[in-house]
Amino acid sequence: MTYMSPERMQGEKYSYAGDIWSLGIMLIETVTGKFPFKDTKGFLEILEQISEHKSPNVPKNGNFSPELYDFIERCLKKNPDERDSTHELLAHPWILKYSQT
């Protein structure tokens, strides 16, 4: 439930775009060591955070690259139609920066 996309939380059917949302949330948690909705308790509070607040991201504090920030931002667009596809994300500069050629 905690990695569920906004549209899934509202009862819409599963889609790959929902997996892209989950990837963005997991990346934030992985690189910061903190769940981005840490002050929430349960489904309704997480749903409220997602619905009423800007999508989370890593802090712009110099510890994270602009490419990572942009990658996560592309994953966490609230409208699933606006999220990058897997093909677009695989071609993103943050991925290419660490890919072997």
Instruction: Show me where the domains of the chain are located.
Output: 6-97
Per residue in 17-68, pLDDT (tens digit) is: 999 999 999 999 999 999 898 788 888 888 888 888 899 999 999 999 999 9
What are the tokens at 12?
A: 């819409």
Taking the C-alpha atoms of residue 84 and residue 57, their distance in angstroms, rounded to an integer, is: 16
What is the model's pLDDT at position 9? 84
Q: Terminal CA-to-CA distance of the chain, rounded, Å?
A: 37
Per residue in 48-59, pLDDT (tens digit) is: 888 888 999 999
Quote the pTM value.
0.91
Taking the C-alpha atoms of residue 37 and residue 58, their distance in angstroms, rounded to an integer, is: 12
CATH of domain 6-97: 1.10.510.10
- Structure-model confidence comparison of residues 76 and 13, the more confident one: 76
CB-CB contact of 90 with 39 (8 Å) = no
